[in-house]
Chains A and B, each alone.
Chain A
Amino acid sequence: MKLKSVTTFHVKGLNQEKWLNELCKEVSLTEIERLSKNETTFKCSYFSYKKVDKFLKKHGVNIVSLTHEGVAYKLRNIFTAYGLMAAIVVCFALSIFSQQYILQYKVEGVDKLAAGDIVEYVSKNFSKQKGNIDTSEIENALLQNFKRISFASCIIKGQTLVINIKEKLLPDEMYGDFAPIVASKNGRVTKINLISGTLKVAVGDFVRMGDVLVEPYTIDASGNIKKVEARAEILAEVYNEGQSEHYETYIEVRRTGKAVVQDEIKLFGLTIYTFKEEMNFKMFETETDEVPLIKNLFLPFKMKKTTYYELCENKIISKFEDVEQQFVSKAKAKALENCEDYAKMKEEFYTLRHLQGMTIVNFCIITEENICK
């Protein structure tokens, strides 16, 4: 960018020497170049271009183009860009306005306490305007409302309120949810390792899912109840069952391989074209698929394709003895689905129940699992 601000005129007109002589008496011109008989370019100071422009118009000279360059022109351009200036002013005003408020809270020194709770409490109960914030008031309120805080200090750093917390030191078992431990599965208790809390079951007890295993309190020698976090590891034999049923006679429905397709073209849910083949199946099932007719089309034409599959029925007769292993495997697979990953298997067995025309296979896998939830 040039430091000197100049304006280049490209003009068209007759008698150029005459008006150049007159113009140069008022304004100093530079780099006057005759392009053709009627065309000339010249430069003048940016600060006097309006004078030149007025002079040329007065003398009937046609201005083909006018270009400005230089620092003064650029600066004037910036200062006359009203939108930009307005945006700068608005941003500046908003920035000053926002400086008056707390935009962010930062809690430091929390370990057991949730920082979110402290932020929520402070933001709800105290003003966000910096001028109205009394940090000692916040400190006192925090000490009164959060029993686990032993020391609190607050400072305003820019637009952030920094809350420094020192928590009271309590025994580990004093923290936690204080909820009882319940059985996650049905089973027989085989081993108990109690860490804290009051045990409600003994080894050998049968428990059902949801039964309380450990209560979240202890009773001291004076008979006082003291809340603690219930923690324990309780192992139990869990009976994971799976069942499969075999019928000696059943009807199998299968596709014959014949199919008929029906197409519909839709626009906004309305059918505008249908093509249907003749279909005379006694039994059938259908599959429907709706896809856009053409991609990138403004109108959402859709094609609905319905396929009718012919079905037939077959009566199947099978003896259980022939397929026993197959049904036992099915029942075992179902039983395995109920087992926990990496559960310790202790035993597995299956039982058969013969009813009229059907046999039920019950497969049981006994595993040892931690049933504490």
Chain B
Amino acid sequence: MFNFLNEVKQGLKNTEIDLNGFNLINLSGRILYVEGHLGLVTLSKELISFKVKKAVIVVEGKDMMLSELSDNTIKICGQIKKVEQI
């Protein structure tokens, strides 16, 4: 079956880089879909942060809410202004 993320990963020349940590998809700055999160750190309407493998992702925005939260996926809805990995 065609997998868009696998297709994108195959394009990378350096095969030693670990690409299996997490995936982030930002849809028009309104929805942020995350695969492979390791736990929520902060939750508010303006700031949502969560742990991923070897990092923390900070999402800044306005009127944000967690539309979905499961064991390894997060779907954030709202006006997403900034996504930062620290």
Contacts and interface: CB of A to CB of B under 8 A. Distances in A.
Q: Do A and B form a real pair?
A: yes
Interface of A: 16-17, 20-21, 24-25, 28-34, 40, 42
Contacts of A31: 65-67
Interface residues of B, number: 14
B40 A17 contact: yes
A44 B74 CA distance: 14
A29 B44 contact: no
A272 to B, nearest CB: 74
A44 to B, nearest CB: 10
A338 B16 CA distance: 131
Contacts of A34: 43-45, 65
Contact of B71 (A17, A25, A33, A40): A25
Contacts, number: 44
Interface string B59-81: 00000011111110000000000
Contacts of A29: 66, 68-70
Nearest to A26: B71
A33 B44 CA distance: 8
A24 B39 CA distance: 9
Contact of A24 (B44, B67, B70): B70
A28 B67 CA distance: 11
A21 B71 CA distance: 8
B75 to A, nearest CB: 8
A16 B42 CA distance: 9
B41 interface: yes
Contacts of B65: 31-34
Interface in B5-46: 39-45
A28 B70 contact: yes
B68 A16 contact: no
Contacts of A28: 68-71
Nearest to B49: A17
Given A31-B65, A32-B65, A33-B65, A20 B40 contact: yes
Which 3 residue pairs are nearest across A and B when measured between Cβ atoms? A32-B66, A21-B39, A28-B70
A209 to B, nearest CB: 102
Contacts of B69: 20, 24, 28-30, 32, 42
A17 B66 contact: no
Contacts of A30: 67-69
Nearest to B39: A21
Contacts of A20: 40, 43, 69
B68 A21 contact: no
Contacts of B41: 17
Contacts of B44: 34
A17 B43 contact: yes
Nearest to B42: A17
A30 B76 CA distance: 10
B72 to A, nearest CB: 9
Contacts of A32: 43, 65-67, 69
Contacts of B71: 24-25, 28
B48 to A, nearest CB: 9
A78 to B, nearest CB: 30
Nearest to A20: B40
A42 B75 CA distance: 13
B38 to A, nearest CB: 9
